[in-house]
Structure 1
Amino acid sequence: MGNDDVTPNAETAARDTATVAHLELSQRRFPEGQRRIFLAAIDAFSERGFHATTTRDIAARAGLSPAGLYVHFGSKEEVLYRISLSSMRLTQQVATAAAAAPGTAAEHLTAVVRDLTVWHAEHAASVKVVLHHLTDLTPEHRAEVIDIQIAIHRLLRDLVAHGVTDGDFDVPDTHATTLALMSLCVDTARWYSPDYRRSPDQIGADYAAMALRLVAAKSA
């Protein structure tokens, strides 16, 4: 995948700042130095790619000396790992919260697809860093991130399967349908930009309606 995926701008920076703020609230508050490094690394990896980015680049964007970065992280791979793990955990939280609300199988599926789509559009820059640079993680770190990806996929697959069992969905291949649904949500991050003609909420609503058609929901 290319390294010219994202052109940083004020709106992208604001969205990534919101991601880090969400992380602080949902897990633990990051020290200011780590927060600045996260944002700087997302910017640098998006603009230059992982291999072309140096720890000096990240430190400079964060307003730190190279030594200041090593106070928080041992390497740029560790920075990428922490970004990837935090982003994936937040994605899992979004999916889990949407699936936990009361409702029918169709309502659960609609909520999960809608919220995951909105999440991936609103945080496209940071999500693309994770998607495009997963193979740059160490095998151990990559396995940890992939485990969360699998858990999210399993959550959506279980929603589809329950709908089939309850007679609400008509799906001949649960696994293939789940893959298609996940692709709808995740791939939004690959092409979405803030100047796109439709908002993340509108895209989320469109994809939620499409999801019901994919599973042949009786209520659709």
Structure 2
Amino acid sequence: MTTAGDDRWPGAGDDLQLVHDWWADSPRAPASQQVLLASIALFAERGYHATTTRDIATRLGMSTGAMYAHYRSKEELLFDVCLTGHQRAVDALQAAIASSDRPGPQLAALVREFTAWHARHHRVARIVHYELYSLSGEHLTPVLEIRRTTQALIDDVLARGAAAGTFTVTDVARTGRALLSLCVDVARWYRGDDDPDELGEHYAGLALRMVSGG
């Protein structure tokens, strides 16, 4: 089984730290973190559908039956990654909004943090966003609910900014989707060439210019 120093696949060290951080309070056994780590690596490398439970077990050096002691199916693993990833993203957005009581700084902080989040966690973010609809209806529903919360957070900031005359926004919903898409798409192309915080700062400036009406 893998250990904290295992670097048999790209990004293993970073992914392992992320798993330790995000699932620190999980009621599952510690060995489940290793199953998650292998799943994240394989889903990111091959895609969800091209990865089998046997692939995950083989990467860990365990039997498929032993893996099922931690997760009942490959889809349950995807659900755990998607649900947790979406919730962590919402947590980051809420913290960004709480950093100010004015729409301008809130929007800048929101876009800055969301962009940096997708760069910093790009491997997991690609799974969270692009493998999402592989989930069954039962698992997809709670994830989409969190996703709607994400949209509502940015729409609220835009609406308040427009009402206060801070932003020039004629269509809050479309502008919100455009800004979220800008941030989320970072996970698709990011490969580590840009500093996440610098990229977030650049995108925050773009966002403010988008709503300035200039």
**Fold similarity call, TM over 0.5:** yes
CA–CA separation in structure 1 for the residues paired with 2:17 and 2:34: 13
What are the residue-to-residue correspondences of 1:29-68 with 2, within 5 Å? 30-68=28-66
1:30 CA drift (Å):
5.0
- Specify the alignment match of 1:97 in structure 2: 95
Q: Which is worse superposed, 119-128 or 27-36?
A: 27-36
Return the offset for 1:181: 0.6
Query: Deviation digits for residues 55-104 of structure 1, max 9, x if unmatched?
Result: 11112223332112111111101111111111111011101111112342
Secondary structure of 1:118's counterpart equals helix
Q: Does 2:139 align with 1:123? A: no
TM-score by length of 1: 0.88
- C-alpha contact (below 8 Å) 1:59/1:69 kept by paired residues: yes
Which residue of the partner structure matches residue 179 of structure 2?
181
Preserved CA contact (<8 Å) 1:168 1:217: no
Between the aligned partners of 1:155 and 1:188, the Cα distance in structure 2 is 19
User: Per the alignment, in what secondary structure is the counterpart of residue 72 of structure 1?
Assistant: coil
The code of the aligned residue for 1:163 comes to: G
What is the CA-CA distance between 1:111 and the residue it aligns to? 0.7
Would you say how many aligned residue pairs link Structure 1 and Structure 2? 207
Q: Which residue of 2 aligns with 1:201?
A: 197
Structure 1 runs not aligned, ≥5 long = 1-7
Residue 19 of structure 1 corresponds to 18
Contact 1:106–1:212 (Cα < 8 Å) also in 2: yes
Post-superposition Cα deviations, 1:130-186, rounded to whole Å, max 9, x if no partner, equal: 222112110121121111111011101101101111111111111111011101111
Instruction: Tell me, yes or no, if the aligned pair for 1:99 and 1:108 is still in contact at 8 Å.
Output: yes
Instruction: Tell me the distance in 2 between the aligned counterparts of 1:74 and 1:30.
Output: 12
RMSD across aligned C-alpha pairs, in angstroms?
1.8
Task: State the alpha-carbon separation in 2 of the partners of residues 126 and 182 from structure 1.
Answer: 17
Going from structure 1 to structure 2, the CA distance change for 1:114 and 1:30 (only over 3 Å counts) comes to farther
1:32 offset after TM fit, Å? 1.9
Comparing 207-216 with 29-38, greater Cα deviation is found at 29-38
Is 1:81–2:79 an aligned residue pair?
Answer: yes
Runs of 4 or more, structure 1, over 6 Å off, are: none
